[in-house]
Chains A and B, each alone.
Chain A
């Protein structure tokens, strides 16, 4: 089914990383956010980078055309950070665009064509009203055979959730626990759109009700809060508001260089040792709707290329665009057996302090999901965790040497997996 993964002809390392704050910024457009991410990236290179030495730029972006009325954004981003007339290429794989950008940069360097490449992602989503964001995101699915009858993007993941519930007996609480965990991590991330835990949000609502003199809600705990349809309305059953990643503006940049040059830029490079990418049918044409074949194939290639196994991976950033997606991801990546994602989450194995920390950044759920930038944002969390610069959310008691990112486009039409090493 999948080809045998080949090793890159030349190794590739990350030597710089930067991202804008993720959130909703009415006064900023895509290029403003890109400039923020780029500026932070240049400052992050320990021994400095001369911008003139960057040879090419890849920009992951899903739909600046529909979100901002702006096509052909790669040369604009290049121009705005002074990279023109270097080659600037936009890559698109819906919410997996950022991951593809990393992979294309890696291929460019591995091929010998380039030594130093900027890979990036950007999306400015909050300009449109919610229903038009819904339309735009639905265009990442098959508009002729999925969108036509009224399926939305959350709706497709919700359908996966019902298939998962029917197959494994999972409950809505199993989905909610993923959101609780990721918000808890996001609360420690100053770049996150929602850097508040679900408990913080719940307590804030109670406080507000008291101040207004309204009846005080008597939620016992976070699950109780999340089950209240007033506090957490349904978007596409069984996915409620707090099961869905938000509408986000943001940008992220990584500087990739050939492995033999890495030490010229930093004594602590992060090496990309595995890369895999795959595609798949629309959801309805898949044999099994509780797993992403593209994720399994991309992971298999990345594991083979790097020579590591799921057991060796210490932390991972996975594509939790919806809470169900994280359960499916941690199973597809081989961390847990099919159907065991809910138990692993319930037992705290995927918590920051757990055996296999997942989405220490807060994930797309809490950090935010500027779709084209998300895949690059995931790698930035790995960069910080591996270099010990993740601040209060640094994984305790673990020297992170092997990590993974899993970035999905739509319902798995695209999936990109990368494996990282600190030597």
Chain B
């Protein structure tokens, strides 16, 4: 049924809840988008198809957050319990933001851009929505 879902952010998060990281590809010029875009930014076509990402990538940028928004404070994070977020470059090319697990956020100076990561699908949600999460390999 995946093809019938409209290319919207709601669909993206529906897929994520089903443990699928989905991008969109322009059927006309093959440009790949993650997060999925409904209109191709290169050729303006609206003829897009869903593509499941393999889930592997590398850390392109990151940060350990000590002063968080209310939603991560509610998760129990604070100055003494920071959390890691990052921008991951997927093997297929596009980049996406996500929570980064499996590395110690207390020693951020030891973390390297380029660290391989793999998508994981946590059960936890922020607010009413699950979020993209990666685990360092």
B66 touches A148 (CB 8 A): no
Segment with Cβ contacts to B, from A131-139, A333-341, A392-400: A131-139
- Map CB proximity to A onto B7-21 as digits: 1 under 8 Å, 0 otherwise: 001000000000000
- Map CB proximity to A onto B37-69 as digits: 1 under 8 Å, 0 otherwise: 000000000000000000000001111111111
Q: In the complex, what residue of chain B is closest to A235 when comparing beta carbons?
A: B67
Among B35, B61, B114, find the residue whose CB has the most chain A CB atoms closer than 10 A. B61
Given the interface pairs A135-B70, A148-B126, A150-B126, the reply to whether A284 lies near B85 with Cβ below 8 Å is no
A152 touches B114 (CB 8 A): no
| One of A131, A146, A236, A239 near B97 (C-beta < 8 A) | A146
* A–B pairs, 19, beta carbons within 8 Å: A131-B68, A131-B69, A131-B73, A134-B69, A135-B71, A144-B9, A144-B35, A148-B97, A149-B97, A149-B126, A150-B72, A151-B65, A159-B86, A160-B61, A165-B113, A234-B82, A234-B108, A235-B66, A284-B96
A236 touches B65 (CB 8 A): yes
Is B117 an interface position by the 8 A CB rule? Answer: no
CB-CB < 8 A to A80: which residues of B? none
Given the interface pairs A145-B35, A159-B86, A163-B60, the reply to whether A151 lies near B67 with Cβ below 8 Å is no
Q: Which residues of A contact B (CB under 8 A)?
A: 130-132, 134-135, 138, 144-152, 154-155, 158-163, 165-166, 233-239, 283-285, 289
CB-CB < 8 A to B135: which residues of A? none
A149 touches B113 (CB 8 A): no
For chain B, the count of residues having a C-beta within 8 Å of the partner chain is 39
Given the interface pairs A150-B69, A150-B85, the reply to whether A236 lies near B64 with Cβ below 8 Å is yes
- Map CB proximity to A onto B75-98 as digits: 1 under 8 Å, 0 otherwise: 001010011011100000011111
Q: In the complex, what residue of chain B is closest to A141 when comparing beta carbons?
A: B97
Nearest CB of B to A33, in Å: 25
A162 touches B61 (CB 8 A): yes
| One of B82, B87, B98, B114 near A289 (C-beta < 8 A) | B87
Docked CA distance A134–B11 (Å) = 28
Docked CA distance A149–B119 (Å) = 13
CB-CB < 8 A to A235: which residues of B? 65-67
Docked CA distance A132–B74 (Å) = 13
Docked CA distance A284–B132 (Å) = 13
Q: Which residues of B contact A (CB under 8 A)?
A: 9, 35, 60-73, 77, 79, 82-83, 85-87, 94-99, 108-109, 112-114, 126, 129, 131-133
Q: In the complex, what residue of chain B is closest to A290 when comparing beta carbons?
A: B61
CB-CB < 8 A to B60: which residues of A? 163, 289
A162 touches B63 (CB 8 A): yes
A238 touches B69 (CB 8 A): no
CB-CB < 8 A to A144: which residues of B? 9, 35
Q: Please name 6 further chain A to chain B contacts, defined as beta carbons within 8 Å, in addition to the given A154-B65, A236-B66, A238-B108, sorted by A numbering.
A: A131-B73, A145-B97, A150-B65, A158-B65, A237-B64, A237-B109
| One of B95, B112, B114 near A285 (C-beta < 8 A) | B95
Nearest CB of A to B128, in Å: 11
CB-CB < 8 A to A149: which residues of B? 85, 97-99, 126, 131-133
Docked CA distance A215–B135 (Å) = 43
Among B67, B71, B98, find the residue whose CB has the most chain A CB atoms closer than 10 A. B67
The 9 A-B pairs at the shortest CB distance, nearest first, are namely A158-B63, A166-B113, A159-B61, A237-B108, A149-B131, A163-B61, A237-B64, A284-B95, A236-B63
CB-CB < 8 A to A234: which residues of B? 64, 66, 79, 82, 108
Docked CA distance A221–B131 (Å) = 43
CB-CB < 8 A to B72: which residues of A? 150
CB-CB < 8 A to B109: which residues of A? 237-238
CB-CB < 8 A to B66: which residues of A? 233-237
Docked CA distance A205–B63 (Å) = 29
Nearest CB of B to A167, in Å: 8
A145 touches B69 (CB 8 A): no
Docked CA distance A163–B98 (Å) = 16
CB-CB < 8 A to B65: which residues of A? 150-152, 154-155, 158, 235-236
CB-CB < 8 A to B35: which residues of A? 144-145
Q: In the complex, what residue of chain B is closest to A240 when comparing beta carbons?
A: B66
Given the interface pairs A151-B85, A162-B62, the reply to whether A134 lies near B96 with Cβ below 8 Å is no
